[in-house]
Amino acid sequence: MTPSPAFFLFSTSLLCVAACLMFLLLRALMARGEQTGQPDPAGKGWFFLVLALGLLFAGYFVYRYSGLWTENDTATITMAIVAMLKQGKLLPTLFAYQHGFGYQSVSLSLIYFTGFSTQILQTMLYPFVAIAGLILTSFVFFREVLRDPRAAALASVLLIFQPEVLFVTLRGSHEKITWPLMMVALTFLYRSFGQPLRRLAVYGILFYFVVFAIDSTNVFFGSVFLMALVMGMTLGFFLFRFWRNNRPPLPRADVQRLMYISLSGGILIFIFMAYIYPPAFANLLMLRGILDQLSALLLSFEIKASPYGYISIGWINSQVYLALTVFTWLVIGCSFLVWLRHGWKMIHGETAPGLVENLDWLLYTGFAIQIGISILVDFSGALAANMQLRLFPSFTVAAIVLLVRFIRKALSSTSMPVVQKRLVLGFGTVLSAWFTLASVLKATSEPLLSNKWIFYLPPEKAVVAWVDSHLTDADLWTGVDERFATINNSYFLLDSTNKNHIRFGKVNPGTRFVLTTELERLRLNRLGIQILPVEYWDQIYDNGQAQVDRIPLYFLGAP
C-alpha cells in the first residue's frame, strides 16, 4: 500500500510541527530557567500546542489506512462491544471480555452519542479521542509532578515519541483508557501529600474511584499498577527502616500510608473479581499458569519461547527495527543513569527529603522490576510472549519523569556553557523529527517496512463476507498470520452460524479451502514463502483481487 503524494505532504507537516514544538520547548526551558511552583501565563498554550501535535499523530494513523485496518486485540474488543450492544448487558452471553467491562461501556456511550458503528468508532474516531485523552491526562500528571507547564509539555511530547505508547493509544484496545487512568490515579496520589485531613480524604476517595475504573477496564493491568506501587513502597519502607543517617529521605508516615493505599487497592481487585464481574476471576487462574511456567523456566533453564524472534520476522531487517526503536533504547539507558545518580545522592543525603521529591524514583523502581519479571515471563511462553511490550508504557511514564526533571535542571543551570545548550537545542530539534517519524512508522506497522500488516483492502473484506455467507463448516486457510481472521472477527463472527474455521500459519491436514489475494501474494514473496499451487485447484470465487479455491480430493491423496 504505497502512500500518495498528499500523504507525504501530510507526513512532512507532522515532522515540521514536532521539530518546531521541540525547539520552542527547549528554548523556553533555557531562557526562563527553573521556576518551580510559580505561575506560567503560557501554561495553557503549551498544552494546546502538544494537543495539536497529538491530533496530527492520530490524523496520520487514520489517513494512512482510511479506517481499513484491524488487529487481534482490536477485533476482540470490537466483538465485546458488539455483544454488549446487541444484548444490553455488562456480561453478555454472546461474547464476554473476561478482564473487564469499562472500555465497552465507554464505547457504547460514544456509539449512542455519535451514531457511528462500532467499527467506525474503533478505527476512525477513537484514535483522535484517545490521543486527546492521553495528552490531557499526561500533561496534568507531569505538571503536578514537575511543577512546570513547560516541562510537562516536554514530557507529554516525549511520551508520544515512544512507539509502544502510541500504538496502544491508537489501536482499538482497552489500553487507550488504562494508561491515562493510571496517570489520573497518580495525579490524585501526588496531590494528597501534605494536605489537611479533609482534602486528604477527598483525594483518597478519588484515587480509589480511579483505581476501580482501571480494574473495571482491565483487572489484570489494574493489579499490575498496584503491584508496582507495592514494590516501590516496599523499597521505600526498607530505605526508611535501615537508614543510618539522622535524616531519612522518606518520611515514615507517608511510606506507611502508601503501603496501606496499595494494599487497599488489592481488596478492590478481589471485590471486582469475586462479586462484580465473575469472568475476571479467570485472571487468578491465568496468574497461576504464569507462575507455573515461570517456575518451569527457572528450574529447568529451558527457554519455552522466543519473544524477540518477531524482530527478524516482523520487519524487513533488524536494522530497520533498531532505527525505529532508537528512542526507546535512549529512554531506557538515560533514565537508568539518572535513576542511579538520584539513588547515589539519596544514599549520601544530597536529595531533598520527602516522598513527593522521591516518589518518581520509587515508581521507576517498581515498574522496572515488573519489566524484568515480564522478560522472564515472555521467555517462559506465557501470555503470548508479549508481556514486556504490554507493560512498557507504564515504565515509560516513570522514566520520562526522571529524564525531564534532569533535562530541565541541566538546561536551567547557569553552570552549563551556552555552546552546550545550543548543541542540545540543535540536536534535540533534529532528533525530534526522526523520533516522530519512527514512532508513527512503528505504531502503524508501516507496510513498506513491516511484514506484520494490520490493514486490508475492500476486496479482501468482500471475500471474507462471501465465505461467511456461502461456506458452511469449512476449514479455510487464509495466509501466514491472523489478518483475515481479525477481519472475520470484527465484522462477521458474532452474527455467523456457519461454523467455519479460519486457519493461518501452517496448513491444516483437514483444510479443504484456501483464500488468496494479490496483496497476500506480495507479502509471501517478501517473506520468501512458497505460494500454494492454487492454479491447479478448483476456483469457486474471484473478485479480481481475491480468490477462494477448493483443494481437490486427489491432491490430498484420496482415491
Model pTM above 0.85: yes
Single out the residue in 443, 471, 505 at which a domain terminates. Answer: 443
What is the structure's pLDDT at 37? 44
Residue 556 lies in a domain: no
pLDDT exceeds 50 at position 558:
no
Residue range 161-165: average pLDDT? 92
Mean pLDDT, rounded, for 233-256 = 64
Alpha helices for 33-101 (secondary structure H): 43-65, 72-87
Instruction: At 479, list the grid cell.
Output: 495466509
Bigger pLDDT: 349 vs 20: 20
pLDDT at 379: 63
Residues 150 and 217 grouped into a single domain: yes
Domain boundary among 397, 420, 443: 443
Residue 89 belongs to some domain of the structure: yes
What is the overall mean pLDDT for the chain?
83
Helix, strand, coil percent content, the chain, rounded in steps of 5 = 70, 5, 25
Domain that holds residue 482: 458-550
Number of domains in the chain: 2
Residues 407 and 501 in one domain: no
Residue 36 pLDDT > 60: no
End residue of a domain, out of 391, 418, 443: 443
Q: Same domain, yes or no, for 523 and 408?
A: no
Mean pLDDT of 371-392: 69
Cα torsion 168, 113, 44, 57: sign: positive
- What does the alpha-carbon distance between residue 336 and residue 469 come to, in Å, rounded to a whole number? 55
Mean pLDDT confidence for 375-383: 64
* Confidence bin at 354 (pLDDT 50/70/90): low
* Percentage, residues of the chain above pLDDT 90: 38
Shortest CA distance to 28 belongs to which of 49, 12, 7? 49
How many whole angstroms separate alpha carbon 51 and alpha carbon 547? Answer: 44
Q: 519 and 387, same structural domain?
A: no
| pLDDT per residue as tens digits for the range 191-215 | 887 777 788 888 888 998 999 999 9
Contact assessment for residue 150 and residue 40, using Cβ atoms and an 8 Å cutoff: yes
* 487-517 confidence digits (pLDDT tens): 999 999 998 888 889 988 888 888 889 999 9
The DSSP 8-state label assigned to residue 69 in this structure reads B
Question: Do 352 and 477 fall into the same domain?
Answer: no
Are 355 and 436 part of one and the same domain? yes
Q: 521 and 422 share a domain?
A: no
* HSE toward the beta carbon, residue 426, CA cutoff 13 A: 6
Q: Between 295 and 190, whose confidence is greater?
A: 190
Q: Is the pLDDT of residue 267 over 60?
A: yes
Give the pLDDT score at 382.
58
The answer as to whether 290 is a domain residue is yes
